[in-house]
Chains A and B, each alone.
Chain A
């Protein structure tokens, strides 16, 4: 059975800290790994990673994928209170030509002022 495991499940930091969120996966079919931020309801897209070793960056956020060791990390530098959210990692399974995401349970990040 496909599995995506995120760690830690929750994290409390102070503004200005740097955090690293982890995502490991075991899936039969892999096309990409995606990171989402969920604050209230709609998860918002952060990154899509398909190739190992290529870092993707957006402002203070960055992410990298290791397809050999089957994991990804999401880094957030100089955290702000607005970064408080649940961060979701998902693996895209293209089995049968369909589009299906297998999600981890998420990491709840709380940034205190």
Chain B
């Protein structure tokens, strides 16, 4: 079966711009969560969506937002980009309650210049 698909793979943006990243989960998976990975901080939780509802949010500023659609696809948006937002953004999907683990996509590498 198809894995978790993230688009685009790479992005270069200028400070102050905004960006939208997309994540398509494995078919049948209803939970999608997002993580930011940087060399200094490792993987940090951004937010989690289930059935179009945000159930949890990490300790990130309000410039980071997301949503989930009825087909479980999810998008995350970062507004007013800062240099420190440069990172690998990973999304993960799970079937139910994480009982079968979480499957990660290959990520979107965002570079802010």
Contact = CB atoms under 8 A, between A and B. Distances in A.
B27 interface: no
A98 B56 CA distance: 6
A36 B90 CA distance: 14
A43 B90 contact: yes
B43 A103 contact: yes
A64 interface: no
Contacts, number: 72
B47 to A, nearest CB: 9
Interface string A31-48: 110101000111111001
Contacts of B45: 100-102
Given A99-B31, A104-B42, A41 B55 contact: no
A96 interface: yes
B8 interface: no
Of the four ranges (under 10, 10 to 19, 20 to 34, 35 or more), the interface on chain B belongs to 20 to 34
Nearest to B54: A98
B105 interface: yes
B106 A96 contact: no
Contacts of B44: 103
Given A98-B50, A99-B50, A105-B42, A45 B101 contact: yes
Nearest to A43: B104
A44 B48 CA distance: 19
A88 B42 CA distance: 9
A23 B14 CA distance: 38
For chain A, the bracket of interface size reads 20 to 34
A99 B33 contact: yes
* Most chain B Cβ neighbours within 10 Å, of A34, A41, A102: A41
Nearest to A50: B99
B102 interface: yes
B33 A100 contact: yes
A98 B97 CA distance: 8
Interface of B: 3-4, 31, 33, 35, 42-45, 48, 50, 55-56, 58, 88, 90, 92, 94, 97-98, 100-107, 109
